[in-house]
Amino acid sequence: MTGQLDDKHGSRFLLNSEADVRALLNKLQKKRSHVTGHFDNSYHIFSTCLLEVGKNTVILDDVSDEAISQRILACSRLHFSSVYAGVPVSFMSSQIEPCLFEGAAAFSIPLPSTVLWPQRRELFRVPTPVGKPVLCEIELNNGEIARNPLSDISVGGIGMLTQASSPTLKQGALFGGCHIDLPGFGELTSDIRICSSADITLRNGHPVRRYGCQFIDLPQQEQSLLQRYVTKLELAMRGSHAHA
């Protein structure tokens, strides 16, 4: 086993037992859950899924682009994320090799030593409406005001989108007094910290950059407001799935 995660959220959110790790990964594999792989220090991502969870290895689907496949194989550290039972799942690997699975190209990684599965409400991210995007107003270092759409939101933070050509926001950067208008609930004001970034392509083919941002010292009143809004989005999402 390999792929030790940094315990940023407390040991109670880490699965350390080999049996627990294998059991959760088996559930992802049986559901054919979508898995996102992050490489090049999380600047790039690829889509895959778990094909098999073995005694010591995990087999993942290959990507169709040979050039990207070679870049993935050259990486010394990869981060994988998915969702099970509505809860984010995350694990790491410092090794990846090409292999064959049922005659087709695939990736092989060692069974992770730990898997992060934070069953905590404030870490649940829900997608924000696409038709009427929620905007985050942020003052950049040059004094310019940017209004960026959100991709998702939770009581812990937001996923914020910018044009791929926009100036890069550095990981760890802190932006004070950001404003988010929550339709029907009011305006939320908070400091945010940039925690991660990745270049992604939207369904319409438009390239954007997604920033994972953390709320800093969000007051209890603001947390309650945000939780009510997140709950509304969750209920709407469940309703749409029920009628799909």
Q: What is the pLDDT of residues 145-189, one digit of tens each?
A: 999 999 999 888 999 999 988 989 998 999 999 999 999 899 999
Residues 13, 104 contacting (CB under 8 angstroms): no
pLDDT at 28: 93
On whether residue 47 sits in a domain, the answer given is yes
Q: Count H helices and E strands in the chain, helices first.
A: 3, 17
Residues 126 and 238 in one domain: yes
Looking at the structure, do residues 75 and 172 belong to the same domain, yes or no? no
- How far apart are the C-alpha atoms of 146 and 138, rounded to whole Å? 5
Q: Which domain holds residue 83?
A: 11-119
Domain assignment present for 232: yes
pLDDT beneath 70, residues of the chain: 1-13, 40-43, 85-86, 118-124, 238-244
For the chain, the domain total comes to 2
Q: Are 187 and 110 contained in the same domain?
A: no
Instruction: Identify whether residues 128 and 236 lie together within a single domain.
Output: yes
Q: Say yes or no: 164 and 140 in one domain.
A: yes
User: Do 69 and 157 belong to one domain?
Assistant: no
Quick one: pLDDT at residue 7? 45
Query: Tell me, what amino acid is at 148?
Result: N
What pLDDT, on the 0 to 100 scale, is given for residue 177? 94
Q: What local confidence, expressed as pLDDT, does residue 240 receive?
A: 55
CA atoms of 218 and 189, how far apart (whole Å): 9
d(CA 222, CA 94) in angstroms, rounded, equals 39
pLDDT score for 62: 94
Q: Which of 151, 194, 150 is nearest to 170 (CA)?
A: 194
Last residue in a domain, options 119, 134, 159: 119
Q: 81 with 89: CB under 8 angstroms?
A: yes
Structure tokens at 93: 């690997």
What digits encode the pLDDT tens for the residues 98-111? 999 999 999 999 99
Choosing from 119, 139, 170, the residue where a domain stops is 119
136 and 194 both lie in a single domain: yes
The residue out of 59, 89, 119 marking a domain boundary is: 119
Q: Do residue 204 and residue 185 come from a single domain?
A: yes
Give CA–CA dist 179/182, Å, rounded.
10
Question: What's the pLDDT at 205?
Answer: 82
Q: What is the CATH number of the domain that holds 166?
A: 2.40.10.220
What pLDDT sits at residue 9?
45
Q: Token digits for 40? A: 């090049």
Does residue 130 share a domain with residue 214?
A: yes
- Rounded to two decimals, what is the model's pTM? 0.54
pLDDT at 241: 47
